[in-house]
Amino acid sequence: MLVSEKSWTTIRQEYVKKYKEHLIIAQKELASNPNEEVIKKAKSLFGDLVNVKDDSDL
């Protein structure tokens, strides 16, 4: 669907308002399940001393 640039903000706000609970649950699930593939890639690039931090509290 194509919308005008002026309408996009309103549509996005309505979407977030409608699906807020679902979005929060999805965000918490992502935060609680670290992406092992990303961690392995970081370790391969930077070695075993890589320090993976959780930024979900930011």
| Structural domain includes residue 27 | yes
52 conformational bin, left if phi > 0, alpha if psi -120 to 50, beta if neither: beta
Q: Is residue 42 part of a domain?
A: yes
Q: Is residue 30 in some structural domain?
A: yes
Q: pLDDT tens for residues 6-43?
A: 899 999 999 999 999 999 998 888 777 777 888 888 88
Dist. CA 44–CA 46, nearest whole Å? 6
Please state the domain count of the chain.
Answer: 1
Q: What is the structure's pLDDT at 54?
A: 61
| Calpha distance 5→24 (Å, rounded) | 26
> What type of residue sits at position 35?
N
pTM here is: 0.43
